[in-house]
């Protein structure tokens, strides 16, 4: 009996052993070594092209299937639910009054009951649809990328498509996810370990050099852990020491994407747990700016530390996301002026994610961090483009807010995003009373102005 089982067991053990070895060797050769050296085999780009072809095929198939069965096809999400009237307050009120009474009114003179209409309608229209609130939910796709999470309107169209989707599910969760999680742990572990080791060295050129190499290497491994395919444009504008790099913010992954190409000093709040461990070990190798929770509120302290850092030309450029919160990558919202008051050269960077492969936006009210990372790691890939824009400095007679808006406009233009004046903080807070008064002032000026005309004539 025993003799019968033993060879079988042995065989299984040997097979398992071989497959693990092969697995790790492949991992090492194709992913980790290139990450260390900073070269690429081009596997990811090939992967991306293949995926695109498959998506096109899938979308055509759906279209054909829907036509055959006369199904209601998935309609692209129109960016607005209602049509906005582009007329101004005065014009529209005149029109309302004209339609109500037969008198020919040249100017909007007295107050009339029908004036209420304009405001009531505007108010209800803004409840139905407004510019700001819709920036905070994920952008919807027009074609299907074989992930049911990107839209739920696809019904069962054909067997082949469902099989493809099932296969995709298997590949993503069975093969890609474990691979990526392994890589992520490797990357983070190496980062913590190596930065601690480097921290033991005496300060000097050697330490800085080694720290740069280590940071780059670990971030590259993390990039591969997400299968992020990044295209960097205009690398001659990369940020230099003593400058501040600003970028639009879509997700925490932005940090990894930027830091895998160039070295930055990070700014942020100290967290507890794993994040805290990583932060503390990073600061051993090269200076980053971490704030205690209580210090974050003190704007002068923050400004002072930032300006001390930029004055020291041996320190790395600071990386800041002035929007203050994650936006869904269709627009750029108001930049907080703090980082623009310091007076250092600003290097703007625009990041645009390609939504066809996976939605990178972190909706922090919907998903926690771990949930979000799991979603990222089980998508196909994260494809994005990074543009380094030429450096900008504050001009004569320009205040911090105007400078911030100028930088924001440049980033929005380059990334193909919509430039909005609204504050990203509106995700959580309320509008100030001063904005409401503007509308009232306008209306009352209109009434009072014409009263004066009449009394004069």
* Binding of residue 439 to another protein (CB under 8 A): yes
Which bin fits 75, alpha (ψ -120 to 50), beta or left (φ > 0)? beta
| 164 near another protein, judged by CB under 8 A | no
Choose one: 114-122, 174-182, 208-216, 240-248; the region binding another protein (CB under 8 A): 114-122
Select the residue interacting with another protein from 134, 213, 337, 375 (CB under 8 A).
134
Round to whole Å and give the CA distance between 184 and 288.
22
Selection from 404, 385, 200, 210 nearest residue 284 by Cα: 200
Residue with tokens 């030429």: 390
Kindly give the residue spans of alpha helices, DSSP state H, lying in 200-323: 205-225, 253-259, 273-285, 299-311
> From the CB of 139, what's the least distance to another protein, in Å?
10
Among 143, 237, 325, 385, binds another protein (CB under 8 A): 143
Long-range Cβ contact pairs of 160-164 (< 8 A, separation 24 or more): 160/61, 161/58, 161/61, 161/62, 161/65, 164/54, 164/58
**Per rule CB under 8 A, is residue 89 in the interface with another protein?**
no
Q: Which is nearer to another protein, 73 or 283 (CB)?
A: 73
How many residues touch another protein under the rule CB under 8 A: the total is: 68
Instruction: Tell me how far, at minimum, the Cβ of 135 lies from another protein, in Å.
Output: 11
CB nearer another protein, residue 211 or residue 331: 331
Does 387 bind another protein (CB under 8 A)? Our answer is: no
The Cα–Cα gap between 65 and 253 comes to 37
CA-wise closest residue to 361 among 273, 250, 236: 250
Closer to another protein by Cβ: residue 240 or 375: 375
Separation between Cα atoms, residue 434 and residue 445, nearest integer Å: 16
Stretch that binds another protein, among 116-124, 188-196, 242-250, 391-399 (CB under 8 A): 116-124
Spell out, one character per residue from 388 to 417, where the chain touches another protein: x when CB under 8 A holds, - when not: ----------------------------x-
Cα torsion 195, 200, 204, 209: sign? negative
End-to-end Cα separation, the chain, in angstroms: 118
CB atoms within 10 A of CB 117: 15
Closest distance to another protein from the beta carbon of 353 (Å): 11
Does 75 contact another protein by CB under 8 A?
yes
Q: Is 455 in the site for another protein (CB under 8 A)?
A: no
Which lies closer to another protein via its Cβ, residue 399 or residue 437?
437
Residues 14, 16: Cα–Cα separation, whole Å: 5
Q: What residues from 24 to 53 belong to the interface with another protein (CB under 8 A)?
A: none
CB of residue 390 vs another protein: minimum separation in angstroms? Answer: 23
Q: Does 453 bind another protein (CB under 8 A)?
A: no
DSSP 106: S
83 lies in the binding site for another protein (CB under 8 A): yes
Q: Which of residues 338-377 bind another protein (CB under 8 A)?
A: 356, 365-366
Cβ distance 278 to 192 under 8 Å?
Answer: yes
Candidates 36, 90, 122, 169; binder of another protein (CB under 8 A) is 122
Provide the minimum distance between the beta carbon of 246 and another protein in the complex, in angstroms, as a whole number: 22
Is residue 154 near another protein by the rule CB under 8 A? no
Instruction: Centre a 10 Å sphere on the Cβ of residue 75 and count the other Cβ atoms it contains.
Output: 8
Element (DSSP H or E) covering residue 413: helix 400-415
Q: Work out the number of other CB atoms within 10 angstroms of the CB of residue 363.
A: 15
Does 103 participate in binding another protein (rule CB under 8 A)? Answer: no
Q: Which residues bind another protein (CB under 8 A)?
A: 55-56, 59-60, 62-63, 73-76, 78, 80-83, 95-96, 99-102, 110-117, 119-134, 137, 142-143, 356, 365-366, 416, 422, 426, 430-431, 435-441, 443-445, 447-448
């Amino acid at each position: 009996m025993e003799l019968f089982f033993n060879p079988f067991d042995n065989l299984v053990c040997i097979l398992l052993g071989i497959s693990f070895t092969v697995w790790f060797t492949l991992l090492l050769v194709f992913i980790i070594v290139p990450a260390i050296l900073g070269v690429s085999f081009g596997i990811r780009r090939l992967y991306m092209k293949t995926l695109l072809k498959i998506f096109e095929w899938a979308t055509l198939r759906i279209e054909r299937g829907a036509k055959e069965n006369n199904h209601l096809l998935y309609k692209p999400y129109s960016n607005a639910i209602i049509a906005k009237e582009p007329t101004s307050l005065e014009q529209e009120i005149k029109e309302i009054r004209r339609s109500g009474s037969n008198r020919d009114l040249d100017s909007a003179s007295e107050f009339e009951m029908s004036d209420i209409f304009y405001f009531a309608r505007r108010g209800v229209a803004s409840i139905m649809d407004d510019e700001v609130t819709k920036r905070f939910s994920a952008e919807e796709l027009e074609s299907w990328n074989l992930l049911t999470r990107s839209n739920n309107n696809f019904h069962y169209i054909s067997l082949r498509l469902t099989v493809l989707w099932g296969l995709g599910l298997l590949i993503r969760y069975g093969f890609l996810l474990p691979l990526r999680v392994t890589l992520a742990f490797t990357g983070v572990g190496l980062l913590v370990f190596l930065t601690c080791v480097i921290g033991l060295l005496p300060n000097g050129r050697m330490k800085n050099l080694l720290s740069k190499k280590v940071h780059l290497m670990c971030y590259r491994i993390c990039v591969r852990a997400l299968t992020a395919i990044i295209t960097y444009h205009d690398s001659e504008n990369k940020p230099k020491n003593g400058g501040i790099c600003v970028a639009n913010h879509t997700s925490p992954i932005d940090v990894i994407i930027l830091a895998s190409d160039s070295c930055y000093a990070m700014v942020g709040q100290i967290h507890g747990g794993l994040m805290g461990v990583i932060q503390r070990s990073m600061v051993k190798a090269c200076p980053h700016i971490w704030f205690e929770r209580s210090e974050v509120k003190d704007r002068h302290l923050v400004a002072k530390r930032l300006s001390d850092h930029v004055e020291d030309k041996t320190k790395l450029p600071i990386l800041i996301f002035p929007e203050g919160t994650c936006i869904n990558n269709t627009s750029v919202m108001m930049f907080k002026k703090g980082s623009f008051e310091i007076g250092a050269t600003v290097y703007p960077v625009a990041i645009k994610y390609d939504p066809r492969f996976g939605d990178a936006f972190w909706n922090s009210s919907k998903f926690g961090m771990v949930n979000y990372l799991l979603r990222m790691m089980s998508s196909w890939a994260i494809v994005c483009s990074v543009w380094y824009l030429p450096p900008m400095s504050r001009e004569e007679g320009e205040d911090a807010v105007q400078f911030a808006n100028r930088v924001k406009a440049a980033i929005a233009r380059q990334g193909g995003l919509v430039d909005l004046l609204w504050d990203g903080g509106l995700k959580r807070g309320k509008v100030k009373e001063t904005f409401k008064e503007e509308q009232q002032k306008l209306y009352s000026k209109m009434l009072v102005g014409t009263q004066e005309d009449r009394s004069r004539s």
